[in-house]
Structure 1
Amino acid sequence: MSNGAFDELGAKVQRAQSVVREIRGVGRVGGISVEVDAENRLVALHHPDADIIMAAYRAALRDKQPQLDEAMRDVLSDPDTQAITSFVDSNAAPTQAEPAHPAQTLDDDTYFHSIRQDPLGRNR
Protein backbone atom coordinates (compact mmCIF):
# COMPACT_ATOMS: atom_id res chain seq x y z
CA MET A 1 0.00 0.00 0.00
CA SER A 2 1.49 3.37 -1.01
CA ASN A 3 1.82 6.40 1.26
CA GLY A 4 -0.96 8.11 -0.68
CA ALA A 5 -3.27 5.17 -0.02
CA PHE A 6 -2.36 5.26 3.68
CA ASP A 7 -3.05 9.00 3.77
CA GLU A 8 -6.40 8.50 2.06
CA LEU A 9 -7.33 5.71 4.45
CA GLY A 10 -6.25 7.89 7.38
CA ALA A 11 -8.48 10.72 6.16
CA LYS A 12 -11.42 8.33 5.85
CA VAL A 13 -10.83 7.05 9.38
CA GLN A 14 -10.68 10.62 10.74
CA ARG A 15 -13.94 11.53 8.98
CA ALA A 16 -15.65 8.41 10.31
CA GLN A 17 -14.36 9.07 13.85
CA SER A 18 -15.67 12.62 13.66
CA VAL A 19 -19.14 11.41 12.67
CA VAL A 20 -19.10 8.58 15.23
CA ARG A 21 -18.24 11.04 18.06
CA GLU A 22 -21.53 12.81 17.38
CA ILE A 23 -23.77 9.70 17.32
CA ARG A 24 -26.25 9.48 20.19
CA GLY A 25 -28.99 6.99 20.97
CA VAL A 26 -31.95 7.98 23.13
CA GLY A 27 -34.20 5.55 24.96
CA ARG A 28 -37.38 6.46 26.81
CA VAL A 29 -39.26 4.08 29.07
CA GLY A 30 -41.84 5.30 31.52
CA GLY A 31 -40.56 8.54 33.03
CA ILE A 32 -36.91 7.78 32.34
CA SER A 33 -34.88 8.97 29.37
CA VAL A 34 -31.26 7.97 28.78
CA GLU A 35 -28.76 8.98 26.12
CA VAL A 36 -25.76 6.87 25.08
CA ASP A 37 -22.85 7.58 22.75
CA ALA A 38 -21.56 5.35 19.95
CA GLU A 39 -19.49 3.34 22.45
CA ASN A 40 -22.54 2.66 24.65
CA ARG A 41 -21.39 5.07 27.37
CA LEU A 42 -24.15 6.74 29.31
CA VAL A 43 -23.94 10.46 28.53
CA ALA A 44 -27.29 11.72 29.89
CA LEU A 45 -30.01 10.57 32.23
CA HIS A 46 -33.31 12.38 32.69
CA HIS A 47 -35.34 11.35 35.71
CA PRO A 48 -36.36 13.06 38.97
CA ASP A 49 -33.83 10.84 40.81
CA ALA A 50 -31.08 11.24 38.21
CA ASP A 51 -28.52 12.54 40.73
CA ILE A 52 -28.99 9.50 42.98
CA ILE A 53 -28.90 7.08 40.03
CA MET A 54 -25.71 8.68 38.68
CA ALA A 55 -24.09 8.54 42.13
CA ALA A 56 -24.84 4.80 42.25
CA TYR A 57 -23.46 4.41 38.71
CA ARG A 58 -20.21 6.18 39.66
CA ALA A 59 -19.95 4.04 42.81
CA ALA A 60 -20.31 0.90 40.68
CA LEU A 61 -17.53 2.12 38.37
CA ARG A 62 -15.25 2.74 41.36
CA ASP A 63 -16.10 -0.71 42.76
CA LYS A 64 -15.26 -2.59 39.56
CA GLN A 65 -11.98 -0.75 38.85
CA PRO A 66 -9.77 -2.65 41.34
CA GLN A 67 -11.17 -5.93 39.99
CA LEU A 68 -10.36 -4.86 36.43
CA ASP A 69 -6.89 -3.69 37.44
CA GLU A 70 -6.16 -7.05 39.05
CA ALA A 71 -7.50 -9.03 36.08
CA MET A 72 -5.34 -7.02 33.65
CA ARG A 73 -2.20 -6.82 35.86
CA ASP A 74 -0.23 -9.55 34.02
CA VAL A 75 -1.07 -8.20 30.56
CA LEU A 76 -0.34 -4.58 31.48
CA SER A 77 2.99 -5.43 33.11
CA ASP A 78 4.17 -7.37 30.04
CA PRO A 79 7.05 -5.58 28.25
CA ASP A 80 5.32 -5.91 24.86
CA THR A 81 2.18 -4.22 26.20
CA GLN A 82 4.30 -1.45 27.71
CA ALA A 83 6.06 -0.92 24.37
CA ILE A 84 2.71 -0.68 22.57
CA THR A 85 1.39 1.75 25.20
CA SER A 86 4.52 3.93 24.82
CA PHE A 87 4.11 3.91 21.04
CA VAL A 88 0.40 4.87 21.28
CA ASP A 89 1.16 7.62 23.80
CA SER A 90 3.93 9.10 21.67
CA ASN A 91 1.80 9.05 18.52
CA ALA A 92 -1.48 10.26 20.01
CA ALA A 93 -0.79 13.99 19.47
CA PRO A 94 -3.50 15.84 17.53
CA THR A 95 -2.74 16.68 13.91
CA GLN A 96 -2.25 20.29 12.82
CA ALA A 97 -5.15 20.02 10.37
CA GLU A 98 -7.59 19.21 13.15
CA PRO A 99 -6.70 20.88 16.47
CA ALA A 100 -8.00 19.05 19.51
CA HIS A 101 -10.90 20.50 21.39
CA PRO A 102 -10.84 20.00 25.19
CA ALA A 103 -13.85 17.65 25.10
CA GLN A 104 -12.36 15.68 22.18
CA THR A 105 -9.03 15.35 23.99
CA LEU A 106 -10.82 14.08 27.07
CA ASP A 107 -12.64 11.50 24.95
CA ASP A 108 -9.38 10.44 23.32
CA ASP A 109 -7.65 10.27 26.71
CA THR A 110 -10.51 8.17 28.04
CA TYR A 111 -10.32 5.91 25.00
CA PHE A 112 -6.56 5.34 25.34
CA HIS A 113 -6.97 4.76 29.08
CA SER A 114 -9.55 2.09 28.25
CA ILE A 115 -7.08 0.46 25.86
CA ARG A 116 -4.48 0.37 28.63
CA GLN A 117 -7.04 -1.18 30.98
CA ASP A 118 -8.44 -3.62 28.41
CA PRO A 119 -6.06 -3.98 25.44
CA LEU A 120 -8.01 -6.90 24.02
CA GLY A 121 -11.27 -4.93 23.96
CA ARG A 122 -13.25 -7.50 25.92
CA ASN A 123 -15.21 -4.93 27.95
CA ARG A 124 -16.07 -2.54 25.13
Structure 2
Amino acid sequence: MTITVDRPAEHEATQRRNPRELVSPQTFTKLVTYIVEHQRVTRPYAERVIEQTLIYLKAVCGNHGVRLVPDISVDPGWHAFLMHTIEYAQSSRITTADGACTTSRSCSKTSPPAQPCSAPSATTRHRLPR
Protein backbone atom coordinates (compact mmCIF):
# COMPACT_ATOMS: atom_id res chain seq x y z
CA MET A 1 0.00 0.00 0.00
CA THR A 2 1.21 3.51 -0.82
CA ILE A 3 0.28 6.54 1.23
CA THR A 4 0.52 9.95 -0.37
CA VAL A 5 0.24 13.43 1.04
CA ASP A 6 -2.23 15.89 -0.48
CA ARG A 7 -0.06 18.88 0.33
CA PRO A 8 3.48 19.53 -0.89
CA ALA A 9 6.41 19.27 1.50
CA GLU A 10 6.81 23.08 1.57
CA HIS A 11 3.43 23.30 3.27
CA GLU A 12 4.65 21.22 6.19
CA ALA A 13 7.63 23.50 6.64
CA THR A 14 5.44 26.59 6.78
CA GLN A 15 3.16 24.93 9.32
CA ARG A 16 6.04 24.60 11.79
CA ARG A 17 7.07 28.25 11.73
CA ASN A 18 7.35 30.27 14.89
CA PRO A 19 4.10 32.25 15.35
CA ARG A 20 6.16 35.25 16.44
CA GLU A 21 7.23 35.61 12.79
CA LEU A 22 3.67 36.64 11.91
CA VAL A 23 4.18 40.10 13.43
CA SER A 24 7.14 42.38 13.99
CA PRO A 25 9.19 41.88 17.17
CA GLN A 26 8.03 45.33 18.34
CA THR A 27 4.38 44.39 17.89
CA PHE A 28 4.87 41.08 19.68
CA THR A 29 6.54 42.83 22.63
CA LYS A 30 3.85 45.51 22.77
CA LEU A 31 1.06 42.91 22.85
CA VAL A 32 2.82 40.81 25.49
CA THR A 33 3.37 43.89 27.67
CA TYR A 34 -0.31 44.81 27.31
CA ILE A 35 -1.36 41.32 28.45
CA VAL A 36 1.06 41.38 31.41
CA GLU A 37 -0.24 44.78 32.56
CA HIS A 38 -3.97 44.27 31.95
CA GLN A 39 -4.36 40.58 32.83
CA ARG A 40 -1.80 40.50 35.64
CA VAL A 41 -0.03 37.39 34.40
CA THR A 42 3.62 36.47 34.03
CA ARG A 43 5.54 37.44 30.90
CA PRO A 44 6.12 33.82 29.78
CA TYR A 45 2.38 33.13 30.07
CA ALA A 46 1.55 36.33 28.16
CA GLU A 47 3.99 35.31 25.42
CA ARG A 48 2.20 31.97 25.04
CA VAL A 49 -1.18 33.77 24.93
CA ILE A 50 -0.01 36.02 22.10
CA GLU A 51 1.61 33.11 20.23
CA GLN A 52 -1.64 31.13 20.44
CA THR A 53 -3.61 34.21 19.38
CA LEU A 54 -1.44 34.57 16.28
CA ILE A 55 -1.87 30.87 15.48
CA TYR A 56 -5.63 31.23 15.87
CA LEU A 57 -5.82 34.29 13.60
CA LYS A 58 -3.67 32.54 10.99
CA ALA A 59 -5.97 29.50 11.16
CA VAL A 60 -9.05 31.68 10.74
CA CYS A 61 -7.56 33.38 7.69
CA GLY A 62 -6.56 30.08 6.14
CA ASN A 63 -9.87 28.26 6.61
CA HIS A 64 -12.58 30.17 4.79
CA GLY A 65 -16.06 29.05 5.69
CA VAL A 66 -14.99 27.14 8.80
CA ARG A 67 -16.17 28.53 12.12
CA LEU A 68 -13.20 28.43 14.48
CA VAL A 69 -13.78 29.37 18.09
CA PRO A 70 -10.82 30.59 20.15
CA ASP A 71 -9.93 28.99 23.43
CA ILE A 72 -10.69 31.08 26.53
CA SER A 73 -6.96 31.85 26.91
CA VAL A 74 -6.77 33.23 23.33
CA ASP A 75 -9.58 35.76 23.77
CA PRO A 76 -7.52 38.27 25.85
CA GLY A 77 -4.72 38.09 23.28
CA TRP A 78 -7.12 38.76 20.45
CA HIS A 79 -8.63 41.64 22.43
CA ALA A 80 -5.14 43.06 23.03
CA PHE A 81 -4.42 42.85 19.30
CA LEU A 82 -7.68 44.62 18.46
CA MET A 83 -6.87 47.35 21.00
CA HIS A 84 -3.70 48.05 19.00
CA THR A 85 -5.48 48.88 15.75
CA ILE A 86 -2.45 50.13 13.83
CA GLU A 87 -0.49 46.95 14.55
CA TYR A 88 -3.56 44.82 13.77
CA ALA A 89 -3.99 46.57 10.41
CA GLN A 90 -0.30 46.11 9.61
CA SER A 91 -0.30 42.38 10.39
CA SER A 92 -0.17 41.44 6.73
CA ARG A 93 1.60 38.14 7.42
CA ILE A 94 -1.58 36.73 8.95
CA THR A 95 -3.06 35.99 5.54
CA THR A 96 -3.38 33.16 3.06
CA ALA A 97 -0.48 32.20 0.82
CA ASP A 98 -1.58 34.57 -1.97
CA GLY A 99 -1.69 37.53 0.42
CA ALA A 100 -5.48 37.77 0.62
CA CYS A 101 -7.50 37.13 3.72
CA THR A 102 -10.45 34.86 3.08
CA THR A 103 -12.12 34.79 6.47
CA SER A 104 -14.94 37.25 6.49
CA ARG A 105 -17.55 38.30 3.98
CA SER A 106 -15.65 41.53 3.35
CA CYS A 107 -12.39 39.75 2.46
CA SER A 108 -12.06 37.65 -0.62
CA LYS A 109 -9.49 36.30 -3.03
CA THR A 110 -9.88 39.58 -4.93
CA SER A 111 -8.75 41.64 -1.93
CA PRO A 112 -5.52 43.53 -2.46
CA PRO A 113 -2.36 41.76 -1.32
CA ALA A 114 -1.29 42.24 2.29
CA GLN A 115 -4.82 42.96 3.49
CA PRO A 116 -5.00 42.15 7.19
CA CYS A 117 -7.37 39.47 8.32
CA SER A 118 -10.84 40.60 9.37
CA ALA A 119 -11.56 37.77 11.75
CA PRO A 120 -15.04 37.60 13.27
CA SER A 121 -15.46 39.83 16.29
CA ALA A 122 -15.25 38.41 19.78
CA THR A 123 -18.57 38.27 21.58
CA THR A 124 -17.39 37.75 25.14
CA ARG A 125 -14.45 38.74 27.27
CA HIS A 126 -12.85 36.41 29.77
CA ARG A 127 -10.20 36.86 32.39
CA LEU A 128 -7.22 34.57 32.24
CA PRO A 129 -6.98 32.03 35.05
CA ARG A 130 -4.24 32.86 37.52
TM-score interval, smaller chain: under 0.3
What is the TM-score of this pair, normalised by structure 2? 0.26
Q: Larger C-alpha radius of gyration, 1 or 2?
A: 1
Q: Which has the higher helix share?
A: 1
Higher relative contact order (CA 8 A, sep 6+): 2
TM-score, normalised by the number of residues in structure 1: 0.27
